[in-house]
Structure 1
Amino acid sequence: MAVTTRPSLVRDPRGTRSTIALKLLMATSGVLFIAFVLGHMYGNLKAFGGEEKFNDYAEHLREIGEPLLPYGGLLWIIRVGLIAALVVHVASAVALARRAGRARTTKYVARKYTKSAISSRTMRWGGATLLVFLIWHLLNFTIVKVDVSNGDTGVKNPYELMVANFEVWWLTIIYLVAMVALGLHLHHGTWSSLQTLGLTNSVAARTRAKLAGWVVAVVVAGGFSLVPVSVLLGIIEK
């Protein structure tokens, strides 16, 4: 008599290990991004100190490490590291999404989201939105340095570039929508990272992880939003 094995109970140890590895890569790269956006947000808030302080801060970033590093050397190290982390993060997310799709053999007639937060349901689309926004943001403020208000490129003054762009109301709206997407992504991403790293093994730990997700989301998204809103309202001006 032949013995059959139920397919649902068959496990692939190598597949399980690689899935865990992908989740760890996503978690660690996500933590790097959280550290970066916190530092970037702090720098943006220098705008409230006026043009001189903001530009001095921008220039100081390029001088860090001299003469051991060339002018702007540390910034390029950070950029390359962030690009590598972004590639790892996106590739891991795509691989995990494909695995989840293959594992789901039965399509649901109706989906029920009663127990899932909006931040978890929008992770994929939110991540794609942020990727598109990031490309535009780099072109706008770092690579091409486009002054959208008059079409100039290569603007040298960081403060003037920032103010000129955020005085354009539709660009500010786009930026704020992106910050909502960032907040949602950070909320669920923080929780998921802590869970993957094994820091949610108790009720108290899960509560702290959820709180951490909200704190990171509100602080980062709110902090980034303060500057464009203040420019649009005339609080920060040339």
Structure 2
Amino acid sequence: MPTTTLTPRGTTARGTTIALKLLMAVTGLVFVGYLLLHMYGNLKALTGEEGFNEYAEHLRTFLTPMLPYGGLLWIVRVVLLLSIVGHVYAAFKLWSRAGEARRTKYAAVKTAATSKWMRWGGVFLLVFIVWHLLHFTIIKISPNSEKQGSNITQNPYELVVASFQVPWMTLIYVLAMIALFMHLKHGVYSAQQTLGWTGSPKAHARAKTIGLAVAALIVVGFLIPPLSIAFGLID
């Protein structure tokens, strides 16, 4: 008589786990695409005030009059909001299931470090994103007491420069980029694994290299403008 070790309930749970991993992979790749574009935009600060502000304004007028002023930005914000909700939901569900599924001390030790880093690093990044949006998009407050005033909040370049002339602001940003590097390094690799792109030892090694390269590219690109400002290379 044929038998199976998988119960209907176990099969359902496994299917749900695969769906959650796919959700996490796809939403994660959406973020990677956005981060690459955002990094490119930030590097415009190296061209000076006129170039950076022109880029910032272009984002609001892009595809007008087909879209209203700022329409593209709102589309991007909605996509990112939906992605972050899906990503966080999938992450917490998977972490919860992983904790319940660990039955041996070996398995717990093997996955504990990466799991904890991804969990708490992700929470730190989520808090940073909220702060980043409040700082540069929603409230637009300059933490530089020497450069306060209404004009600075209407000038994207001046707001960025004034912000990273404050040491504690730069430190928070650097810490966030360290967390982002670790998150991307593992996350990009895991996304490729989930999508079935690591089926051979060569593909597995390539996926790890891609994860490291993408993480390094994005983080270095994001760090160049604030560190240039902090060290007085941009003013």
Cα contact 1:55–1:159 (8 A) shared by 2: yes
Q: Which residue of 2 aligns with 1:70?
A: 68
Kindly state the Cα deviation for residue 51 of structure 1 after the two structures are TM-superposed.
0.3
Q: Any residues of structure 2 matched to 1:57-206 within 5 Å, and which?
A: 57-105=55-103, 108=105, 112-113=109-110, 121-150=116-145, 152=149, 155-206=153-204
- Secondary structure of 2:173's partner? helix
How much does 1:104 deviate? 2.7
| Distance in 2, Cα, partners of 1:21 & 1:171 | 38
- The answer on whether the counterparts of 1:146 and 1:152 sit within 8 Å (CA) in structure 2 is no
8 A Cα contact 1:63 1:71, kept in partner: yes
Residue 102 of structure 1 deviates from its aligned partner by 2.0
Provide closer, same or farther for how the CA distance between residues 155 and 82 of structure 1 changes in structure 2, counting only shifts above 3 A: same
Say if 1:188 and 1:161 are closer, same or farther in 2 by CA, change over 3 A: same
Offset from partner CA, 1:156-186 (integer Å, 9 cap, x none) = 1000000000000111011000000000000
Aligned-pair distance for 1:118? 6.3
Quote the Cα distance in structure 2 between the aligned partners of 1:152 and 1:93.
41
How far apart, CA to CA, are the structure 2 residues paired with 1:159 and 1:68? 27
**Corresponding residue for 2:26?**
28
Q: Give the gaps of 5 or more residues in structure 1.
A: none
Partner of 1:52, secondary structure, is helix
Aligned match of 2:37: 39
Instruction: Specify the code of the residue in structure 2 equivalent to 1:236.
Output: I
Gaps of 5+ in 2: none
Output the amino acid matched with 1:27.
A
1:214 aligns with: 212
In 1: Cα distance, 2:164 partner to 2:109 partner? 40
How far apart, CA to CA, are the structure 2 residues paired with 1:117 and 1:217? 22
Deviations 1:55-108 (A, max 9, x none): 0000000001100110000100000110000000000001111111222356x4
Aligned residues: 228
- Tell me whether 57-66 or 92-101 shows the greater mean CA deviation: 92-101
Offset at 1:22?
0.3
Q: Does the CA contact (< 8 Å) of 1:63 and 1:72 recur in 2?
A: yes
Q: Scaled by the length of structure 2, what TM-score is found?
A: 0.91
TM-score where L is the length of structure 1: 0.90
1:69 alignment partner, SS class: coil
Q: Render the CA deviation track for 1:173-203: whole Å, top value 9, x for unaligned.
A: 1100000000000000000000000000011
With over 3 angstroms needed to count, the CA separation of the structure-2 counterparts of 1:227 and 1:157, relative to structure 1, is: same
- Per-residue displacement from partner, 1:208-229 (whole Å, max 9, x unpaired)? 1000011011111111011110
8 Å contact 2:102–2:108 — kept in the other structure?
Answer: no
Q: Structure 1's 230 and 118: CA in aligned 2 closer, same or farther, altered over 3 A?
A: farther
d(CA) in 2 for partners of 1:168, 1:190: 32
Residues 26 and 88 of structure 1 are in contact (CA less than 8 Å); yes or no, is this contact kept in structure 2? yes
- 3-state SS of the aligned residue for 1:160? helix
2:12 & 2:172 partners in 1: Cα distance?
A: 43
Distance 1:118 1:105 in 2: 17
Q: Judging changes above 3 Å, is the alpha-carbon distance between structure 1 residues 173 and 119 closer, same or farther for their aligned structure 2 residues?
A: farther
Deviation at 1:112, TM superposition (A): 3.8
Give secondary structure in 2 for the equivalent of 1:122: helix
Structure 1 or 2: larger helix share?
A: 2
Identity of aligned residues (%): 51
